Amino acid sequence: MRLFDSNISKNHSGKYSIIDKKIQLRYGDEYRAGFRGLGPFSLHLVASAPVGNGSISITIILGADEVVFFETIELGRQNREFSFNIEPKKSGVFKVLVEVVDKNAGRCLVSRVLINDSKKINSKANNKNYTLKNHDYEYLNKLSTKIGIIVPYSMHGGAEIYLKNILTELSSSNINFHILYLSKNSKSLSSGYSEIFAGSINRLKSQVILNKYSHVIFYNSLSIYNLLSTLKGDGLISSKIIEIYHSDFTWSDSVSKLKSRENVDISIRVSDGLLNDVAGLRKVETIPVGIDLGRFKNSHRKTLRAKYNISNDKPIIGIVARMSPEKNIDYALSIASKMSDFLFLFLGTGPMLSDYSSKNKLNNVVFMGHKDNIEDYHSIFDALLLTSNIEGTPISIIEAMASERVVFSTRVGMIPDIISNGENGFFITGSAEDDASLIRDNFNNRLVGKNARKSVSKNNIELTAKAFVDVLFDKYEFIPNEIPKNIGEFI
């Protein structure tokens, strides 16, 4: 059943002109139309940019502000056809919104917008499926095993988020994770798993011995490594020892200071550039940071800015970081001071948040603290700025790239493994004047944003979580009476 047809419907509004039934749009124009939908529907659009290349965005909004679909498409001089299958979770009154997003584009002509009630269509474009289903991990449901994960510190940084994302993805499996905390101030990693507050190294030692874990996972802490290596070496535990290695950043208790390992069965690094100078490693596997690509996507920024009462009259640069010295927030502020026509939103908490907030004198800077719905803010931003002096593999960059936002970052840690300068992001120079110009010239670079999304496809949490458990387990190790069909595959 046809729900909407721009060629015949009168239920439309906005800033545009009509030429021979074609909707003519320029930068800043928009075409809006309403329709009622009861289930899945298809969107078909035919458009061109007669005087050259141009980009338009198509948004489907349910009710007042719930974005159920958003896509940006590139146009050429000849008509191009695009089709999308949309599956909203609820029925109701929808709005379709078409806008020109390229400020350098000339006229864009939309020949037709057609919406049909339909469960499935054959697309003529490269459609994206933004809804990721839980992976069927097959043999995991046959496992009956208990794994201990040791959380050494109260801070909740990249290593903790790395594990939390994997645990959330594996919540439907039959693996029994125990999260062992040394501090009661630690933020929970659990997705319904058992949590044990050890509180001291001695009590942690007792828990590891008594629970007879099949695997014990640790990260970052030298003291935890020393404990586990000693227990394994003395024969007090038979658990496989798994190290998650997130960065080369060093501090008083960092295992990164140690250039050798003993009794660690598997070392999982987040980037190929790590652990190459460490001796005694038995098995090294690279599993990148995983995020839910269905959660982070290019959603409609105007709608979200209105939802959170954020001004839409200036481009917005986002900074998502812990408010601490190594993040070099002062340099981000120096860039902001040279870009008064841009709004800078700082998201994150930390020991210096109150100091920055109280001393801030810039009218275009807002410190917003911690935000749980970070995916909305990545869509609110026009670009992301990271000014850290020290980094591992910052998840904020990957989330921004998945949201098709242009990232401007320092060239530190493992970031060069993620960003190729000028292709899917940009490296800042260290000169506030030059970096302000770099951001101003490229914050709305749609091609770089598109490339960014493509380049983080390997960070799909389904892929990384499956790789994680495949590394931990021989497929048949914990499945009694199961004979491999091709035993050579596992030798």
Looking from the CA of 396 toward its CB, the CA atoms found within 13 Å total 27
What pLDDT sits at residue 52? 66
Question: Does residue 38 contact residue 106 with C-beta atoms inside 8 Å?
Answer: no
How far is 333 from 344, CA to CA, in rounded Å? Answer: 9
Size of the chain, expressed as the number of residues it contains: 491
In 3D, which of 3, 109, 107 has the Cα closest to residue 60?
3
Q: In sequence order, what are the beta bridge partners of 58? A: 71, 98
What pLDDT sits at residue 174? 79
Single-letter amino acid code for the residue at 130:
Y
Tokens, residue 117: 């009630």
Question: Does residue 390 contact residue 249 with C-beta atoms inside 8 Å?
Answer: yes
What pLDDT sits at residue 155? 80
Sign of CA dihedral 185, 188, 189, 192: positive
Question: Does residue 75 contact residue 54 with C-beta atoms inside 8 Å?
Answer: yes
What pLDDT sits at residue 141? 60
| DSSP-derived pairing of the beta strands 54-62 and 92-100 | antiparallel
The gap from C-alpha 268 to its chain's centroid, in whole angstroms, comes to 20
| DSSP-derived pairing of the beta strands 266-269 and 365-369 | unpaired
> Which DSSP string do the residues of 29-91 spell out, in sequence order?
-EEEEEEEESS-EEEEEEEE-TTS-EEEEEEEEETTTEEEEEEEEEE-SS-EEEEEEE--SS-
In 3D, which of 181, 145, 149 has the Cα closest to residue 163?
149
What pLDDT sits at residue 133? 38
If 0-12 CB within 10 Å is exposed, 13-18 middle and 19+ buried, where does residue 100 land? buried
Single-letter amino acid code for the residue at 241:
I
What pLDDT sits at residue 222? 97
> Mean pLDDT of all residues in the chain?
86
All structural domains of the chain? 2-117 (2.60.120.260), 138-290+462-476+484-490 (3.40.50.2000), 301-458 (3.40.50.2000)
Which residues of the chain fall short of a pLDDT of 70? 52-53, 103-105, 118-144, 474-491
Q: Return the number of other C-beta atoms located less than 10 Å from residue 162's C-beta.
A: 26
Cα-trace Rg, the chain: 25
